[in-house]
């Protein structure tokens, strides 16, 4: 059940990101400044995705080492501090980068959509 809810929420976030990208790329009514800002944020999100997924790691406890945030790429665990590290490699090894990128772009995408809808509403009033 939780996996289904997670998948539905992720697909909704992807839909919002795609909608915003289409609105910026092909839509009219947005200022050049907003479009340039969106593409700059997109570039920053790519860099943040690379750093947070491929480089960032943390230890939530002494026997767990996680690579990647917010969606982990690889998780290493061990039973005791002297035992060897055992790795958990799931589907997130391949999907962590796109999932993190989609999550990092969600807030800017919502902002672009809100501005686009607001501008359209103001144009219809006048």
CA-only gyration radius of the chain, Å: 19
How is residue 2 written in tokens? 């939780």
- Residue count (the chain): 126
How is residue 29 written in tokens? 């009514």
pLDDT tens-place string over residues 73-93:
888 999 998 899 887 776 777
Whether residue 126 is predicted with pLDDT greater than 70 in this model: the reply is no
Cα atoms in the Cβ-side hemisphere of radius 13 Å centred on 32: 0
Whether residue 35 is predicted with pLDDT greater than 80 in this model: the reply is yes
For the chain, the domains span: 2-125
Whether residue 72 is predicted with pLDDT greater than 80 in this model: the reply is yes
User: What share of the chain has pLDDT > 70, as a percent?
Assistant: 96
Per-residue confidence at 120, pLDDT binned at 50, 70, 90?
confident
pLDDT tens-place string over residues 38-64:
999 999 999 999 999 989 999 999 999
């Amino acid at each position: 059940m939780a996996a289904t809810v997670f998948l539905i929420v992720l697909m909704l976030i992807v839909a919002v990101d795609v909608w915003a990208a289409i609105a910026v790329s092909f839509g009219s009514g947005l200022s050049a400044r907003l479009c340039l800002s969106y593409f700059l944020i997109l570039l920053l999100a790519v860099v943040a995705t690379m750093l947070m997924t491929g480089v960032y790691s943390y230890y939530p406890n002494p026997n767990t080492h996680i690579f990647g945030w917010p969606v982990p790429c690889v998780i290493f665990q061990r039973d005791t501090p002297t035992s060897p590290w055992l790795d958990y490699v799931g589907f997130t090894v391949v999907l962590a980068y796109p999932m993190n990128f989609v999550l990092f772009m969600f807030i800017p995408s919502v902002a672009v959509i809100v501005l686009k809808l607001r501008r359209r509403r103001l144009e219809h009033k006048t």
